[in-house]
Amino acid sequence: MLLFSIKGCWAEEGFFNSNGTRIHYVQAGSGEAVVLIHGWMASSRMWGTEQKDNSIFWSLSKNFHVIAVDCRGHGLSDKPHDPQAYGCEMALDVVRLLDHLHIQQAHLIGYSMGAILVGKLVACYPKRVLSAIFAGGAPVIHWSPKDLQQNDAFVEKWQKDKGLQMVSTLLFGPQDRTALAIANHSLRQITVTASELRRYQRPVLFIYGERDWTSTKQYVEAAHQAFGRGDIAIIHNADHFTTPMKPDFLAKILSFLKQADAPSPIFQK
């Protein structure tokens, strides 16, 4: 475990073995646990782990034990090239992280790809999840064939286009394009059922930018109908990429977590 300080605030950086894959995470603060799960191509850094002022990670650490994880294939975590190492294994990494840190229950916040993973977790491990925030995405009940085709076309272009590669590296740091492509393709394996979502009874929030993709809004609508409840917050003047940077995004998260119910006294894995 490595300790580091950002403007006088201390965090711990660590790794753990998740079924043979080395997973990186950063944690700070105390209280109820909040796990942050980033989007595709990003890493734990998207939550502001390396910046103090107005960052989501450090703002949450004032009142919570906040943990930002690098999904496999991303950030400082291992980047296997075996397709079998992705899909649902990415969601299981979060469960194993909680076990590694001896945490029974946590609030989960997922952005884009992370929202898909949180959807799988509330469906399969509802007793581990105190509340769920689906940001820039949602649990997926049915993948649209058109969306999958468009996604595949983008990934194929990104793998060949040097300009796109330079932009993504500039935004997200060094990348393993093979691992990222496999991780992206594996997301279509991660679906849930409406009945699974309805069984999850704890607080739910959806957040997305008013200029986010139409597909994002459609998946949010479908998941919201499946839950039969849940708050929806729309961030004005924001698209899929700028939403997490808006002050109102953090404000909505803090307000939701403040109102979320206290953890259940009964732990059931």
What are 150-166's pLDDT values in tens digits?
A: 999 999 998 888 888 88
- Predicted pLDDT at 261: 52
**Token duo for residue 104:** 């029974």
SS percent in the chain: helix, strand, coil, step 5 = 45, 20, 35
Instruction: Flag whether pLDDT at 265 surpasses 50.
Output: no
Tell me the mean pLDDT in the region 115-142: 98
Whole-angstrom distance, CA of residue 134 vs CA of residue 107 = 11
Q: What is the layout of strands, in order, in the sheet containing 21-28?
A: 2-6, 9-18, 21-28, 65-69, 33-37, 106-111, 129-135, 204-209, 231-235
Tell me the mean pLDDT in the region 70-77: 97
- Predicted pLDDT at 149: 97
Tell me the mean pLDDT in the region 156-185: 88
What is the tens place of the pLDDT at every residue in 82-94?
Answer: 999 999 999 999 9
Residue with tokens 């899909």: 87
What CATH class does 2-259 carry? Answer: alpha beta
| Pair 75, 83: CB distance under 8 Å | no
Instruction: Flag whether pLDDT at 262 surpasses 70.
Output: no
Contacts for 2 with CB less than 8 Å, ≥ 6 apart: 12, 13, 14
- Predicted pLDDT at 266: 42
Question: What's the whole-number average pLDDT of the chain?
Answer: 93
Instruction: Flag whether pLDDT at 3 surpasses 80.
Output: no
Tell me the pairing of strands 106-111 and 33-37.
parallel
Instruction: Flag whether pLDDT at 31 surpasses 90.
Output: yes
Tell me the mean pLDDT in the region 128-136: 98
- Predicted pLDDT at 8: 66
Task: Please report, rounded to a whole number, the percentage of residues in the chain having pLDDT higher than 70.
Answer: 94
pTM of the predicted protein model: 0.93
What is the tens place of the pLDDT at every residue in 213-260?
Answer: 999 999 999 999 999 999 999 999 999 999 999 999 999 999 999 998
Whole-angstrom distance, CA of residue 124 vs CA of residue 90 = 13
- Predicted pLDDT at 7: 64
Instruction: Flag whether pLDDT at 175 surpasses 60.
Output: yes
CA atoms within 13 A on the CB side of 64: 27
Task: With CA atoms as reference, report the closest residue to 178 among 84, 82, 114, 92.
Answer: 82
User: Taking the alpha carbons of 145, 150, 154, 157 in that order, is the dihedral positive or negative?
Assistant: positive
- Predicted pLDDT at 268: 39
